[in-house]
Structure 1
Amino acid sequence: MANNESASFCVICQSRDLNKLAEEYCPQCEEVLCGDCQHHHKTSKSTKSHQTIPIENYKKLPSFINQITHNCKEHDCFLEFYCKSHESFCCKVCLISGHKECKETIFIEDFLKPLPGHQSAALDNIEKVLQDLQSNICSAIKDRNRNLTELREQKRVIEEQIKEKRKEINNLLDNLEEELLQKVSIHEKTNCREIEEIITKLEDEKEKVDEIQKEVESVKMFASNLQIFMGTKTFQESISTNEINVQQVYDNGSLNNVTMKCTFSEKLEGFIKHIKTFGDVEIDNSEKHISFSWKGDKSAQNSKPMSVAKSIENIYVRLGSKIDINHDGISGCAISEAGNMLFLQAHCNRMMKYAPNGEFISESRINPEANGIGYDLAVINSNTVAVSSGGNSPQQIYLIDMNSTKISKVFQLGDWCCGLSYNNNSFICCTHRNGIKIFERSHDNLTNVRILPNAPGIADYTYVTSNENRIFHTNWRDDSVVCYDFSGQVQWKYCDSTLLRKPYGITLDSNSNIYVACSNSNNVVVISPDGKQAKELIGASAGITSPRAIFFHKTKHVLLVSNYNRAAFMYDVI
């Protein structure tokens, strides 16, 4: 194995104290070679089968790939096999000396070839997942840019709304101010006019008093005693009239002191005292405008090297926990990415949430304004689950946030929907009057609904699941599981009256093995993807009684099975 620096010069030439530029790299010898040495390498009997690569291509490989050794450290032989029992690579000598009894050893070259029933080789699924990831990232970037534009436009609209509200308030206050000022002006003018009239009246009386004073002075100086005596009575009568007039002004309140003050509306005072903000801004980030599409098998990224699809004969389960549910009639179940379990009670508008350890968390109503709804659950993404309404109105599908258990969106289906599946942005519904319906989530008005040909015309109380290419439907009426392609062509039909009786809930693992909850046979049956093999995976002896709901979590590799009444079981699938 060569590093980037040593990869520049031929290893063989350097051992002879020569520095010649390397042109090829041999993965089996883990050496870089010049042109002459590479020619000898191709003609040598021991190395002529080795496939070399140009040094330029070798340098393009990721560093962690370059660090992978091709030879066994113990025997210095080429690693050609992988033992799944020991999870280790081995050479021919290792295979003979240490893995004779191992049943699951595979030739690495065989792994790189297409598997039966698959079109892809070893890296094809990784490429698909990377393509999906790139597509989803691009979709997410596009959606975030859309959201940026939307938020900026919303900011502009809010600013206009604030200005408009401020203008309304200003206009209202201006009008109220003008009205109050006019009232002040009217009171001021009225009272001032009345005071001015009193002043005029008092000035008249003052002039009369002044005139009498002058007359008295004149009489004192020039009148005779008889004239003074006779004139005093006349003066007294005039003065009495003046006194009466002035006293009248006093008594009728005309001399009361007039003041003005302003009292403001109590509501206005409360407004000034209590209002702390002009308004508020609400942020809602509960709804997504995009959904990710994973055409590749994401679970393959978590698998161990060289893993291949198991035969159903090699699928077993180990009980992880039992969950005690305080309600009967459990018809749907699911597991969130956080590991919380959701259970749906049929026709009771009730969804229960349990923690991964089986402890009860909460109970919520699907639709606060409805009764008698709810039948099946379908996981949309890590945060959202879809709920079918069942056989009661309103005929809807609800998207519910798995954390808050609140409705984020409602689809008007126009038919009663029981079994529900979601795949590649499309809902697949088992309906009462129109068999199996398929419609895209992006179309709110459901104008693109299509009915799956060849499916039963009445599919109420049946269940469905799907992958990228197939739809799998359980029909309790004839004890069957049927596989369709998306055009409606029947691919296979499985029936076994001794093994599979009254099948309901159905789910898939990452290899498209089908798990079915069978109510009358009190068991869980696993069926191979081609429908040719089946076996009882869990039986009545394990506590399975009238199972109805079932869910396989592909990344956690666990199977959740719920009896119709009061008990559920979590299994590790091994």
Structure 2
Amino acid sequence: MEKRLAVKCESAKDLFNNKSENLNDILRQKTKLETELSSCVSRINSYMNELIENVKKVFEKEMQRLQTDLEQLRMQSKGLYKQQDNLENIVQFCSDDVTFLYINEIEHVFLKEEKIPNSVPTRTDLAINGIEEIKTLLRNVEKVKIEPVMQQIPVNTITLSPAQQTVPYETKKSMTSGILTLNKHIDIAKNGVKEPVIIDCCIFKNGQVIAIEQKHTCLLEFTSSGILRRNVKILSQALGIAAIDESLFAITESERDTVQIYDKQRMSSIREVSIREHCSGITKYSDSNFVVGCNAGGLVLIGKNGEKEKVFHTKELMHLNQNICLTSNERGNIFCSFSKNNTILSIDSRGILRFTFQCEKLKSPRGLTCDGNSNIYVSGYETNNIIWISNDGKKSKEVLNSKNGIQCPTGIDYDTNLAILTVCNHNGSKMSIYSMK
């Protein structure tokens, strides 16, 4: 009976966890839907504003043309009336020969200058080609509804005998479920970069790594085997980098207060987003947007097309006047590190503060990244270590330190599929790659 009660309790716990996860999921879905709809609204507004501007341009052009035609007609009419008056005076007071000569002169003028107005009147009207399609689209949009979709989750009937045991839920490998071992140290100087200082990096699914090199203002692209493939000069100092998908990544240019969206294959910027404020950290938030940290204005959510979708007005993130490093997890939670006050802060998808984290083993925190279970780990620059922190901020563990080759780490990134952790190490002179076993 004790074992059966234990099974029942475990089942109730699973149901509770399921509902809790469902609540977190719909909060994330709400944010995603709001973001998608806001993006649609922005695109529609931009399109309609462009149409309005085009109406103004076409109107101005046609108005100028019609005014020019009117002025020409006034001059023609004035000339015709003058010739008419002259002809009447000549007929009245001059001989027939003079009258004949004047009539010939008028005919020559008509033939030469073609001043007689067209007898067929024309008019110009303004119309929008495709307005009916727009009206049809609006009628279809009115039919769109947001509704909850109920999904039945199969649940096995509990008929366990006292000898049966429950099977624990298998999760993705994270920092607490495996051991990280050093795979390789990449000495940047030996790859041809003199006195390098790499400050942040991102991993792609094929194992490719792109890092920001601060001293020479460039991007370094490494193959999965750690070979430097390209060294690309950028316009100004960058502080953060994040992969958007397998073909795009974004960097923050703090000196120019902009975000540059790069094509990975060409290693060139395809879009510039003006933040108008000193920006530092950046992280992918969903498949359609990313978050940028601003030193005084908090966090800004930006779409892949460059539109600003949302600002997280969290008082703890405002007017910090320091660089912010960022990461986010699949639940829509955002984590920020502040090196000046040795603090990790987390907010949810609504911008509400979840927790703040501090501990003696973490000094001058820099880069953050997520594991496969919504938890994070962060690099300690002064403490020469990597700290794992649970999603709720209540648990923490030192997983790498100087004994594992960690020295003055800055940017870090973890790939759950490859199970590798990349660290900008040794004060930016090396990039260390750890694999999980």
d(CA) in 2 for partners of 1:310, 1:444: 34
Q: What is the CA distance between 1:340 and its match in structure 2?
A: 1.0
Partner of 1:538: 400
Calculate the TM-score normalised by the size of structure 1.
Answer: 0.46
d(CA) in 2 for partners of 1:416, 1:117: 40
Q: Please identify, of 343-352 and 450-459, the stretch whose mean Cα deviation from structure 2 is larger.
A: 450-459
Partner of 1:547: 409
Partner of 1:562: 424
**Contact 2:290–2:304, Cα closer than 8 Å, also in 1:** no
Per-residue Cα deviation, 1:34-73 (whole angstroms, up to 9, x for no partner): xxxxxxxxxxxxxxxxxxxxxxxxxxxxxxxxxxxxxxxx
- Select the residue among 360, 370, 373 that pairs with 1:511: 373
Per-residue Cα deviation, 1:239-282 (whole angstroms, up to 9, x for no partner): xxxxxxxxxxxxxxxxxxxxxxxxxxxxxxxxxxxxxxxxxxxx
- Select the residue among 379, 387, 399 that pairs with 2:261: 399
Change over 3 Å in CA distance of 1:459–1:466 after alignment to 2:
farther
Change over 3 Å in CA distance of 1:108–1:325 after alignment to 2:
farther
d(CA) in 2 for partners of 1:112, 1:309: 23
Please state if 1:480 is matched with 2:343. Answer: yes
- Aligned residue for 2:403, secondary structure, equals helix
Please state if 1:384 is matched with 2:384. Answer: no
d(CA) in 2 for partners of 1:465, 1:325: 25
- Aligned residue for 1:338, secondary structure, equals coil
d(CA) in 1 for partners of 2:170, 2:257: 44
**Contact 2:222–2:228, Cα closer than 8 Å, also in 1:** yes
4+ runs of 1 displaced by more than 4 Å? Answer: 106-113, 115-118, 309-313, 447-450
Q: What is the CA distance between 1:316 and its match in structure 2?
A: 2.3
Please state if 1:316 is matched with 2:179. Answer: yes
- Aligned residue for 1:375, secondary structure, equals strand
**Contact 1:341–1:354, Cα closer than 8 Å, also in 2:** yes
d(CA) in 2 for partners of 1:350, 1:519: 22
**Contact 1:452–1:486, Cα closer than 8 Å, also in 2:** no
d(CA) in 2 for partners of 1:329, 1:469: 32
**Contact 2:279–2:295, Cα closer than 8 Å, also in 1:** yes
Change over 3 Å in CA distance of 1:331–1:112 after alignment to 2:
farther
Partner of 1:461: 323
Change over 3 Å in CA distance of 1:495–1:447 after alignment to 2:
closer
d(CA) in 2 for partners of 1:491, 1:469: 12
**Contact 1:348–1:374, Cα closer than 8 Å, also in 2:** no
**Contact 1:336–1:402, Cα closer than 8 Å, also in 2:** no
Change over 3 Å in CA distance of 1:450–1:539 after alignment to 2:
closer
d(CA) in 2 for partners of 1:319, 1:116: 39
Calculate the TM-score normalised by the size of structure 2.
Answer: 0.59
d(CA) in 1 for partners of 2:291, 2:355: 19
Change over 3 Å in CA distance of 1:448–1:525 after alignment to 2:
closer
Aligned pair count reads 291
d(CA) in 2 for partners of 1:462, 1:405: 25
Partner of 2:41: none
Q: Mapping of 1:153-552 within 5 angstroms? A: 306-308=169-171, 313-326=176-189, 327-346=195-214, 348-366=216-234, 370=235, 372-390=236-254, 392=255, 394-424=256-286, 425-434=288-297, 436-441=298-303, 444=306, 446=308, 448-467=310-329, 468-497=331-360, 499-552=361-414
**Contact 2:312–2:351, Cα closer than 8 Å, also in 1:** no
d(CA) in 1 for partners of 2:187, 2:15: 42
Q: What is the CA distance between 1:335 and its match in structure 2?
A: 1.1
- Aligned residue for 1:439, secondary structure, equals strand
Partner of 1:22: none
Q: Mapping of 1:109-128 within 5 angstroms? A: 114=14, 117-119=17-19
Partner of 1:258: none
Per-residue Cα deviation, 1:336-393 (whole angstroms, up to 9, x for no partner): 2221111101364300011111111110123xxx3x3211111101111110112x1x
Change over 3 Å in CA distance of 1:552–1:310 after alignment to 2:
closer
Change over 3 Å in CA distance of 1:569–1:116 after alignment to 2:
farther
d(CA) in 2 for partners of 1:552, 1:115: 31
Amino acid in the other structure paired with 1:565: G
Partner of 2:434: 571
| Largest Rg, 1 or 2 | 1
d(CA) in 2 for partners of 1:109, 1:570: 42
**Contact 1:523–1:540, Cα closer than 8 Å, also in 2:** yes
**Contact 2:379–2:387, Cα closer than 8 Å, also in 1:** yes
Q: What is the CA distance between 1:442 and its match in structure 2?
A: 5.2
Amino acid in the other structure paired with 2:200: G
d(CA) in 1 for partners of 2:333, 2:312: 16
Q: What is the CA distance between 1:331 and its match in structure 2?
A: 1.3
- Aligned residue for 2:374, secondary structure, equals coil
d(CA) in 1 for partners of 2:252, 2:11: 42
d(CA) in 1 for partners of 2:400, 2:346: 22
- Aligned residue for 2:367, secondary structure, equals strand
Partner of 2:133: none
- Structure possessing the higher relative contact order (Cα contacts under 8 Å, 6 or more residues apart): 2
**Contact 2:182–2:433, Cα closer than 8 Å, also in 1:** yes
**Contact 2:294–2:300, Cα closer than 8 Å, also in 1:** no
Q: What is the CA distance between 1:426 and its match in structure 2?
A: 3.0
**Contact 1:438–1:452, Cα closer than 8 Å, also in 2:** no
Q: What is the CA distance between 1:448 and its match in structure 2?
A: 4.9
Q: Please identify, of 107-116 and 502-511, the stretch whose mean Cα deviation from structure 2 is larger.
A: 107-116
d(CA) in 1 for partners of 2:415, 2:266: 21
**Contact 1:397–1:411, Cα closer than 8 Å, also in 2:** yes
d(CA) in 2 for partners of 1:398, 1:481: 26
Per-residue Cα deviation, 1:184-240 (whole angstroms, up to 9, x for no partner): xxxxxxxxxxxxxxxxxxxxxxxxxxxxxxxxxxxxxxxxxxxxxxxxxxxxxxxxx
When the two chains are superposed, the root-mean-square deviation of aligned CA atoms in Å is 3.7
Unaligned 5+ residue runs, structure 2? 1-5, 34-166, 190-194
Per-residue Cα deviation, 1:427-454 (whole angstroms, up to 9, x for no partner): 32222332x2222315645375454333
Unaligned 5+ residue runs, structure 1? 1-105, 136-303
- Aligned residue for 2:379, secondary structure, equals strand
